[in-house]
Every structure is written in C-alpha cells, then in structure tokens.
Structure 1
Amino acid sequence: MRNPWSAVRDLLERHGRCAMVSVLALQGSAPREVGARMVVAPDGSFHGTIGGGTLEYEAIAMAAAQAADATSADALKLRTFTLGPDLGQCCGGRVTLAVESFSAARLDEARCLAELAGHGGFATRAAIGAQGEVGPREIVAGEDTVDAPLALSAGLLEERFAAGETRLVLFGAGHVGRAIVLALASLPFRVTWVDSRANAFPAHAPRSVEARHLSDPTALFREPAGGEVRPAEVLIMTHDHALDLAIADAALRAPGIGGVGMIGSATKAARMVSRLRAAGYGEETLARFRCPIGISGIASKEPAAIAISVAAELMLRREQAGAFHNKRGGRLAGGMRLV
C-alpha cells in the first residue's frame, strides 16, 4: 500500500486499536514483495494488500484478533506460512509476516509519521523487546542508512517507507485530461487540475483531485507556496498551443518542479523546444521538458489509451526519483527522535 501511517492514524482515531501486517521475509515465489503492508481494524476492515488469496485471508483474521486483544497491545508477533502445505496456494514459497498491534497510546506517533509521509519517503528504527514490545520509532536521517524495505535482526526493526503522494499539476480538462485524472485516481498522486474555461470540468472528480478554474492558468505559479515547496510534476494539454507554451515557460521558471510534460506530436515538440530555447533556456533546463508524453509502444490515440501510457510514465518517474525525505532537526512528537 501507499505509506500506511494515514491508515494507522485513521483507524486509531476511529477504533482506538488496529494492527499492521507487513511481509517481513520470503523464500521462493510469493504474492507480494518484502515490505508490502496492510492495516487492519479490530472488526476486520482493512486498507492495502499483501497479495490476496488465502494468505491475506488468514492475515486479516490474525491481525483483527491481535488488534482486539488488549494483552497484545503495541506488540510485534511473527508468523511463517509455507504457502503450498499450509494454505494450498500454488505459489510454492514461504512467507514470514510481522503483525504489529497499535493502541490509542500510539496515536501521536501515528499522526507524526502520517504527516511526515506527506513530505516524502523516510526510514525508521525501533527496538523490539523480548516479548515483542515495540519501542518508539526513531527517524533515520539519511536514505542510505536503511537498505531494505523491512528487516528485523537482533531486536532492531528497521523500515523504509516510500514517498507519499506526488503532487501533479494538470493543465487542461479535455478528453485526455479527464482520462488521465481517472487513470491516476488509485495511484499515489495528488492532482491540481486547472483550466481557463469555467465549464470544462466534469460534475464529479476523484477525491485526490482539486479542480481549479483560473482565467490565467500561469497565475498558479505566482501563488504563495504556503509552506514547504514539494517537488511536482506538471502536465500540459490545454485547448490552445500558445497557452501551452506560456504554461511551460512559467512552470520551468517555478521552484520545486520535477518535470514539465506536454501532449503533442514530434512536430509540436520541436517547435516548443525551439521557442523555449529562443526564450533563453539552456539545455539543463530543457532536459526537464518533455514532449510527447507517455511511454513508447502504445500507438492508440484513444484518450484512455493515452492516459494509461502517461500514468505508466509518471509511475516510472516517481519510482526513479525515489529519494528519501531527510527530516532534520528537532524531536518529533510521540517519543520519536532523529538518529
């Protein structure tokens, strides 16, 4: 799942208890990789997946029971399954799950980690007692300090949590823009959707989308940052090529923009690059601009097909960026401290 701490926070606020299931180790074939997680409430409702099938069914039941058991509060328990003999699954591998229960006493910790997740990836360390007691998580400053997504050795739990949602600014609410918004709805992106036409947006949009009508879309880049500026992706696909160029120019000048993509043909791309170069942009800045957008190999011009191609490209860019957010300075609430 995406960073699980928002789910832990929400379930603690709602139920006062929950449990997080993590794939700790595996041998051979298995449904998910080490570090895959799901968060389970005492009533068996859950967020995320460790791969489905009987393994997940058993994990949900085990986690729900542990979350509901007061004697297991704030403890980590391990369970190993051999998928064929134990569960009748054809994967044939061996999976060790770590099930960590949370009580309301750890709500501040969950809130801090959920907030931290909104700023990017990070790593933690926590001491595990002889009876599975989980100590406060310490934030690790430095992405190279923790090599694996999840590891438990000699009473020390080390975890690496992926970056939270990538902020994407999408200009244009035409057919392709609408298809892209739908394609990204279940992916880790927070979308600001901008169009100069007041009636361009559909009646309903995914919860991860904020639709904004701006008569001058470039004004978005002149708005106050309102706090920390997070790296963003920009996609441009308006109804007007001159407006496309103006938005690209404003985006390339703005701080915190990871990449600027524009829909279009090779001919349009050449013209846009030529005009941007004439406007004084050097090759280093132009390397952040790309047109056409999307992965190669999908020839269809159907909006939904283009959206799949663009969503795949954005996921590749997100994973390649993949840097941890290095939290520096100060002590975090809930007993966490910086290493």
Structure 2
Amino acid sequence: MKVWRQLAEFVGRHGSAALVSVHEVKGSAPREAGARMVVRPDGAFHGTIGGGQLEFLMLDIARDMLARGDRQARLLDQALGPDLGQCCGGRVKILIETFDAHDLEDIERLAEAEEGGTFEVECRLVDGRVVRDMSSAVGDDAETQWHETHGEERTPVLVFGAGHVGRALVLALAPLPFSVRWLDDREDAFPRHVPGNAVAVRMQDPAAEIAQAPPEALVLVMTHDHPLDMAVTAAALSRGFPYVGLIGSATKRARFEKRFRELGLSESRIGSLVCPIGLPGIGGKEPAVIAASVAAQLLQVRERGLSGLNFSRPTAANDKSAP
C-alpha cells in the first residue's frame, strides 16, 4: 500500500486522517515493524497492523485522536498477551499520528517519493510531531531517533497472453507486490478495466519485450498460439530470468524441450523451465484455481528465490492444460 498517497487522498476528501504504524516488535506479533494502516475520521481504513484486539484498540485510539483534533504523536507499548489477550505473546510499540490540511505539502512530498519505489527517511520528534527527512538529503544527524522505510518494492512480472488464465492471473496478482506488464498481440484482447499494478500492452515484438525486460523479471507464457508460446519461452530461457513459467501439460513440455535442444539451449536453461505452472498438489484447471496457485508460486520465488525449490519438474497434480 502506498501510505502517503492514501493519506493525501483521505486528508483531501475528509479533512484529516491518522497513520498507525508498527514501530517496534519484540517476540511474536501479528505483523512486522513497518506495517501500517491509514484511518479516516469515520473509522474506515486501508492497510492492517495484523487484525485482532490490537488493531481494534488502535483504530479506536486513532479515531478518538482525529475527533479531538489531537496533533501529538502517541507511542503505545502493548504486551499482546497480558494487555490484549492475544496468543502471540510478544510486545509491540505502535506509533499513531494525525494529519490535516496543514500537513499536505509534506504528505505530497513523501507521496511523490513513493512513486519511485522504496526509500528511507530519518525521523525525529519535534514538539510532539514526527519530522521525516529523506536520508539522501541529510547526513548523520545526532537528533535522528529512528529510521523508516516507505514505498513498495514490487517484483516485475511479464504475463504473455490475455486469455482466460491470463485474465485470472492478472487479477490474482492485483493486491500482491508485483508490477505486471501484460502482453497480447490481438486487438481487443484486454478487458476494459485493468488493475492498478498492471499495464496492458498490445504486443508488436515479443523478442523486444524479452530483451528489454529487467533481469529480475518473472515471466509467464500463456498465449493463444503454441508457436508464439515456443518463441517467447525460448527467448525468456535464453535470458536466464529467475522464473520462466509456461502453461501446459507434461506432454507439451516434452515437445517444447525437444525444440529447445534443437535451438541450442543448454540443459540447465531447459531444466529451469516451470511447466506445468503452479504449486504441486493443486490439481484444479479452472482459471481462478490456476491463477491462485501460480500467484502463490510467484510469491515463493519473490521471497526465497529458486534456491532449494524444485519448480521445474512436472507432476500430474499440477498439469494445468491439455496436451
């Protein structure tokens, strides 16, 4: 979630808003330090600090601060078990701040920085308010009391194909930390509305798309045409992306592997192909089921890389298309 852009929207529409942040965690807790939610004066909110009694209590406090026009930041120390009856057993410190129209210039500055990805700020308390400075703009400062990281670090994903599974996959990736480039060469292939983290592109040159993709991109191939699948997959394997997934059965994989060898691809590159796609053990072939399985697999790749994970060997359970 883009915290500062959401704050700017809420303050602009409702006059004020609160930012609730997990400031520090000791032991087991529902969310990590840096988890945040933005609260409107009426109690509606975006984001989460983990749910349960902790979140309910912090929402009540934030809403009360907004109702009273309280501009002083509050830092609350909560023992999840003794204080709130939660089973996590750890301790958390929660920072609650309120913002109004007087803060819009600072909010917009940070919202603009969010558009560029992740960034770090140096924080200090001045007259009960949190002052945030871009780390790149200031050096070591004895007054700095803590650092925060903001923005979203999204993993680039190329999805080739806007058929039933492609559409379901793009929707499944919409709330997840991915930036999707959605490609199809057919006119009117895309739906009218596309998720905010996706860009739909009428593809002219598949080879150029592969060549221009960032090296950390994850590639999914599920077009309407097997020769196109072949060409895109071969080009992606040649680039050596962390993940190249091809929709299809074990039979389709075997046919493609034969052609890849004829094209001169190494056995290691061929062996890295993920086909069938999705997590083993999920056997449904409905587009939404495939999409959920693939989205979970991409999250694994994002979190841990391919090290120790065997995605490339097909199993009957995750055979996702007809031969």
Give TM-score, length-normalised by structure 1: 0.71
Shift of 1:263: 1.6
Equivalent in the alignment of 1:194: 183
Please say if 1:41 is aligned against 2:37.
no
Percent pairwise identity: 46
Equivalent in the alignment of 1:99: 96
Residues 13-38 of structure 1: CA distance to partner in whole angstroms, max 9, x if unpaired? Answer: 33453221112234454332332211
Equivalent in the alignment of 2:124: 127
Distance 2:267 2:106 in 1: 45
Preserved CA contact (<8 Å) 1:122 1:162: yes
Distance 2:59 2:41 in 1: 10
CA gap of 1:287–1:16, structure 2 versus 1, over 3 A, is farther
Q: 2:134 aligns with which of 117, 135, 138?
A: 138
Equivalent in the alignment of 2:286: 302
Residues 279-312 of structure 1: CA distance to partner in whole angstroms, max 9, x if unpaired? Answer: 4556787687543332333233333322122101
Preserved CA contact (<8 Å) 1:169 1:191: yes
Distance 1:222 1:313 in 2: 21
Which amino acid is 1:134 matched to? V
Which amino acid is 2:182 matched to? W
Shift of 1:48: 0.2
Shift of 1:231: 5.2
Preserved CA contact (<8 Å) 2:16 2:101: yes
Distance 1:302 1:259 in 2: 22
Which amino acid is 2:129 matched to? E
Give the length in aligned residue pairs: 301
Shift of 1:242: 0.7
Q: Which stretch shifts more, 26-35 or 175-184?
A: 26-35
Query: What SS is found at the alignment partner of 1:135?
Result: strand
Structure 1 or 2: more helix by fraction: 2
CA gap of 1:287–1:105, structure 2 versus 1, over 3 A, is farther
Q: Which has the higher contact order (CA 8 A, sep 6+)?
A: 1
CA gap of 1:63–1:308, structure 2 versus 1, over 3 A, is same
Equivalent in the alignment of 2:319: none
Preserved CA contact (<8 Å) 2:5 2:111: yes
Please say if 1:316 is aligned against 2:304.
no
CA gap of 1:317–1:161, structure 2 versus 1, over 3 A, is farther
CA gap of 1:85–1:222, structure 2 versus 1, over 3 A, is closer
Which amino acid is 1:218 matched to? P
CA gap of 1:121–1:258, structure 2 versus 1, over 3 A, is farther
Equivalent in the alignment of 2:160: 171
Shift of 1:217: 5.8
Please say if 1:184 is aligned against 2:177.
no
Distance 1:276 1:122 in 2: 41
Query: What SS is found at the alignment partner of 1:137?
Result: strand
Query: What SS is found at the alignment partner of 1:307?
Result: helix
Preserved CA contact (<8 Å) 2:3 2:151: no
Distance 1:283 1:120 in 2: 36
CA gap of 1:140–1:273, structure 2 versus 1, over 3 A, is farther
Distance 2:85 2:105 in 1: 40
Distance 2:300 2:151 in 1: 14
Equivalent in the alignment of 2:206: 218
Residues 140-187 of structure 1: CA distance to partner in whole angstroms, max 9, x if unpaired? Answer: 69xxxxxxxxxxx98612123463443433222223223212322322
What stretches of structure 2 of length at least 5 have no aligned partner? 306-323
Which amino acid is 2:219 matched to? V
Equivalent in the alignment of 2:224: 239
CA gap of 1:223–1:248, structure 2 versus 1, over 3 A, is closer
Distance 2:149 2:221 in 1: 33
Please say if 1:12 is aligned against 2:8.
no
Which amino acid is 2:227 matched to? A
CA gap of 1:128–1:284, structure 2 versus 1, over 3 A, is farther
Preserved CA contact (<8 Å) 1:126 1:138: no
CA gap of 1:298–1:162, structure 2 versus 1, over 3 A, is farther
Which amino acid is 2:78 matched to? F
Distance 1:293 1:140 in 2: 42
Distance 2:148 2:132 in 1: 13
Give TM-score, length-normalised by structure 2: 0.74
Preserved CA contact (<8 Å) 1:17 1:68: no
Equivalent in the alignment of 1:261: 245
Shift of 1:47: 0.8
Distance 2:111 2:238 in 1: 31
Q: CA RMSD in A?
A: 3.8
CA gap of 1:29–1:126, structure 2 versus 1, over 3 A, is closer
Distance 1:194 1:87 in 2: 49
Equivalent in the alignment of 1:156: 145
